[in-house]
Structure 1
Amino acid sequence: MRKWWPLAVVCAGSFLFLLDTTVVTVALPRIGADLTAPVGQLQWVPNVYTLVLAVLMLAVGSLADRWGLRRVFLAGLAVFGVASLACGFSPDIGVLIAARGVQAVGGAALAVTGFALLAACYEGRARGTAISVFFAVNGLGAAAGPVVGGVLTEYLGWAAIFFVNVPLALLTGVFAARALPPDTPVRRGRFDVAGAVWFAVFAASLVHGLTLDRWALAVSVLGFAGFVVVERRRAEPMLDLRLFRAGGFSTLIACAAASTLTFAALVYVSLWLGRSLSPVAAGLAMAPLAVASFLTSTLLGKVLHRFPPRVLLGAGVLLGALGCLVLPVAGIPIGLAVTGIGVGIAGPATGAAVASAAPPGRAGMAAGILTTTRQFGQTLGVAVLGIAYQAGGLTPVYVIAALCGGVTGLLALVPRKQARVPA
């Protein structure tokens, strides 16, 4: 049983991080009323969390390779717990927004190191099982957010959605200190400060441009150009660009982005349900997605090692696309169930492929690339599909998500040379 303790604590940490990406959405009206906050300020309660995550994930992955995965994971739990306490006690909207930003610092550490720890702790069939359970819990955490947020806000008040994190983070930290193996960081050299700064400029301006101000997109282009120039000149870069010369790894990242586009489409399904249902009822209506994803990911772990990654990736992304097409025809429960099966296949398959591509010492970097891609994919998806939703309702949202997923899924099925991160 001790064999699976690292999996348990990593899943607990990831569940906390992902729960707080969605748990706050249904509480925003109550927060605005209690703190007398206008909509312009209120939208920063979820947006600052997304922004900080996008900025820090890649840098945290690089730091973890140098400082140690266990150390960064425990530090992330501590920051997340303290910031959650500050969120619950916030006297005004400004303090709440600042505390949410700090909370995301801890969340970035949990997001990146969790996946890398599993890759380091398990091998072979055990790794496949661990990664499958990990992604199953991830899907459950993201899907459970609206339900948990609705129940806590309705019966205990909005502060409860933050206070509940404190004992959970503390308990997870106690078990993690005993269950996780000692750190063995193998990357040397100075941290890539210049790369981190340029990436922060790129990520922050891109997220800001996609969600609030389109003029910031021009700054993101300059930030990305500066980041690429700096990384190409570094002996120990934060992101080894040679990795993307191999078509296999690029396809992995494209599939990760496509799978998050499916989740972005479900944001608007949730909004549509919220027009006629209470927060709790709307959250429960999304349950088929969580159940199908959880069961599929859990069962897949037993056979994950038997199939080529491209087959599982292609099948998972194509099923996610099919679910989007089925939604308006067969109804939301069936459509969400099909989508959940696709997500349950694509998530573990992508994770296992990325883990196998990363040699010792680059697990943090590989995890940072994967989590950053998923974060940007969902942010971009929400922005693009939001335009479609406002123009024509749910139908164009379904069509765009299905087309992107279908093309990416077919692309994943094409045989390519297996990629591996340069040592």
Structure 2
Amino acid sequence: MMMTTGRSRLAPLGALGAAQFLVVLDTSVMNVSISQLVADFQTDVTTIQRVITVYTMVMAAFLLTGGTIGDVLGRRRTFAAGLVVYGIGSLITAVAPTVGVLTLGWSIIEGLGGALVLPALAALVGGNYAAGKERTFAYGVVGALAGAGIAVGPLLGGWVTTYLSWRLVFAGEVVLVLLILVGLRWVRDAPLSGPRPRLDVVGAALSVLGVALVVLGVLQSTTWGWLRPRDPQVALLGFAPTLFVVAAGLVVLALLRSWVRYREASGRHPLFRWSLTAVPPLRAALWCLLAQNLVLLGLFFSIPLYLQVVLGLNAFETGLRLLPISATMLATALAAPRLAGLLAPRQAVRLGLGILVVAILWLLATVEPELDDAAFAGATALLGVGMGLLAAQLGNIAQSSVGEDDRGAAGGLQYTAQNLGSSLGTAFVGSVLIAALGGAASRGVEGDPRIPADLADRVGVAVSGGLDFIPVGQAEAALTRAGVPPEQTAAVVEAYAEAQLQALRAGLLAVAAIALASLVVTGALPSATPRRERPGDVAPV
């Protein structure tokens, strides 16, 4: 790599990191703007949640194809094209007059733009920064900015939605896209060493369909249920359609595996080389990336429930209390390269996972009817430290495990794993919370002598049909409208409030268990500290 100054070394990272932040920001902004979107478009919550689901599904489904398109057209060109597509989608979203136009602009066009941007971004980081501490630093910053986008989104979205308009977020994204395109002048391409391949159309179609079905099934599990259908009208053979849809996706992905291996064996360019999945460091990094995003999105699903539904904080107040995660995650990722001479990637990842477990258990201890701000801030700050250590390592491990020509495919696999983890995190923790909420509510009602047997039976029927997390005041109002006497209403509400806390603790325990179990796959991660840069390379400051 040629001699670089501090300014020119950081300039590509500014453009690439901003793109990562931009793509991740959208989902967290929309999640806190649901109520306003319902009002603006005169629709219901289910419709807006479906719009959010389609965005996640489109991006996840096209990531592998996006990585291959980067190999075909060139990574820098694909990155730029993806940004243009993303900017067009943001502009349409900002002026959308109907839910249909919102779905077109945000869910479909922005999702497709993100699927082109992210794999090319991963390859360009590797192509612009030398192996060792410099590349670890770059991937750490990009990974930390992804987490920062998730954490800052509720704060930014909550403030803009509350005091201005959610549309301004997407108008601002158009401006940011233009600035990133200007910054591309400092980003070098990461070309293939051999001839550019042709797109494997059959493989692309199978990957899109297979991943879309898996992600759709997982995301809809909270609406459909896993086994018992939450809505009898969508039952299939008496069961929820979730497992049928996921199974269909897995069958299509099995066909993709056979097709890709056939293309590879016959000497034709496949969508990606299946043999990449047999590279131990890459495979371990993909599993850890999936687990990291499962934990992160699981936490960002359960923590806002506690802050907003249980404690009654608004979106802006919730975002403020999530800021420690962003701050410490970014700071840790920036500082992590200085530890590279002391900690091998395997040790750093294990330390990060261990810190996550401790932080989640600490956070669990703060789940009480009254918020201990100091303890909560300490726990969330520690969460950011653990996430920062992972962010500083996993992207670099994934990209450094393959050669230059496979970086686009590795980027597609990397971000597909992350999106699957995000989808699984929300669905998994949501399922745990709902199941724990129902069980705790049933036990609380049945064991309270203030609640007569007939009312306990009625509550039991409601629980069997599936409970949702709603504010205690809303539950109290529903019981009052149903004619339940005040003293019995108070008893049921008390049991429901305690059940909410128990369910949140169960969800956090489940997330901690995932982080702990992830240690099993870390044995395949690199055990040697990164090599020093070659003469002429400049270590990050």
Q: Report the counterpart of residue 138 of structure 2 in structure 1.
A: 130
Residue 92 and residue 403 in structure 1: after superposition, are their counterparts in 2 closer, same or farther (change >3 A)?
same
The C-alpha deviation readout for 1:128-178, integer Å capped at 9, x for no partner, is: 2212222222211121111111111112212112111111111111121x1
The offset of 1:416, in angstroms, is: 7.4
How far 1:248 sits from its partner (Å)? 3.2
How many angstroms does 1:187 deviate by? 5.0
1:382-397 alignment, distance < 5 Å: 382-392=426-436, 393-397=503-507
Aligned to 1:407: 517
In the other structure, the counterpart of 1:211 is 219
Could you tell me how far apart the structure 2 residues matched to 1:322 and 1:280 are?
27
Distance 2:17 2:527 in 1: 32
Aligned equivalents of 2:280 and 2:401: distance in 1? 13
Q: CA deviation at 1:117?
A: 0.7
Other-structure match for 1:421: none
2:379 paired with 1:269: no
Q: Quick one: percent identity of the two aligned structures? A: 28
Taking the TM superposition and a 5 Å limit, the aligned residue runs for 1:358-377 are 358-377=402-421
Tell me how far 1:251 sits from its aligned partner: 1.7
Please identify, of 135-144 and 369-378, the stretch whose mean Cα deviation from structure 2 is larger: 135-144
Partners of 1:305 and 1:119 in 2: how far apart? 20
Q: Check whether the contact 1:187–1:361 (CA below 8 A) recurs between aligned residues.
A: no
Q: Which runs of 5+ in 1 are unaligned?
A: 419-423
Do the aligned residues in 2 keep the contact of 1:198 with 1:226 (CA within 8 Å)? yes
Conservation of the 8 A alpha-carbon contact between 2:127 and 2:189: no
Q: What is the deviation of 1:230?
A: 0.8
Equivalent of residue 346 in structure 1, options 390, 401, 409: 390
- Which residue of structure 2 aligns with residue 314 of structure 1? 350
Please give the residue correspondences for 1:143-222 in structure 2 after superposition, counting only pairs within 5 Å. 143-176=151-184, 178-182=185-189, 184-185=191-192, 186-212=194-220, 213-214=241-242, 215-222=244-251
Q: Is the 8 A contact 1:139 1:293 kept in 2?
A: yes
Question: For residue 96 of structure 2, what is the aligned residue in structure 1?
Answer: 90
Contact between 1:66 and 1:187, CA under 8 Å: does it hold in 2? no
Q: Which residue of 2 aligns with 1:118?
A: 125
- Tell me, yes or no, if the aligned pair for 1:83 and 1:103 is still in contact at 8 Å: yes
Q: Secondary structure at the match of 1:57?
A: helix
User: What is the distance in 2 between the residues matched to 1:77 and 1:23?
Assistant: 19
Letter in 1 for 2:178: L
Structure 1 pair 265/305, CA: closer, same or farther in 2 (3 Å)? same
Q: What is the CA deviation profile of residues 348-402 of structure 1, one whole-angstrom value per residue up to 9, with x for unaligned ones? A: 2111211211201111111111111010011012111111111222112111111
- Corresponding position: 1:102 with 2:109: yes
Distance 1:206 1:414, change over 3 A: closer
Distance 1:217 1:414 in 2: 28
Normalising by the residue count of structure 1, what TM-score does the alignment of the two structures yield? 0.94
> Is the 1:323–1:339 Cα contact (8 Å) retained in structure 2?
yes
Q: Which residue of 1 aligns with 2:254?
A: 225
Partner AA of 2:257 in structure 1? V
**Which amino acid counterpart does residue 388 of structure 2 have in structure 1?**
G
What is the CA–CA distance in structure 2 between the aligned matches of 1:78 and 1:222, rounded to whole Å? 34
The one-letter amino acid paired with 2:313 is L
CA RMSD of aligned residues (A): 1.8
Contact map agreement 1:315 1:409 (CA 8 A) in 2: no
Q: 1:206-265, CA deviations, whole angstroms, 9 ceiling, x for partnerless residues?
A: 111112251312321221111111111113222322122243332221111111121122
Aligned with 2:392: secondary structure?
helix
- Structure ID, larger Rg: 2
Residue 402 of structure 1 aligns with an amino acid whose one-letter code is A
Higher share in helix = 1
Partner of 1:336: 380
4+ aligned runs moved over 4 Å, structure 1: 413-418
CA 1:84–1:415 in structure 2 vs 1: closer, same or farther (change >3 Å)? closer
Alignment length (residue pairs): 417
Comparing 311-320 with 404-413, which one deviates more in the overlay?
404-413
Show CA shifts across 1:6-25 (max 9, x none): 11100111111111121111
Distance 1:246 1:364, change over 3 A: closer
Pairing partner for 1:242 from 265, 275, 279: 275
TM-superposition CA deviations, 1:98-127 (whole Å, max 9, x none): 111101111222222222111011113221
- Counterparts of 1:415 and 1:313, CA distance in 2: 9
Contact 2:127–2:188 (Cα < 8 Å) also in 1: no
For 1:25 and 1:110, the matched residues in 2 are separated by: 22
Question: Structure 2 CA distance, aligned partners of 1:293 and 1:164?
Answer: 24
- Unaligned residue ranges in structure 2 (runs of 5+): 1-6, 221-240, 367-374, 437-502, 529-541
Give the TM-score normalised by the residue count of structure 2.
Answer: 0.74
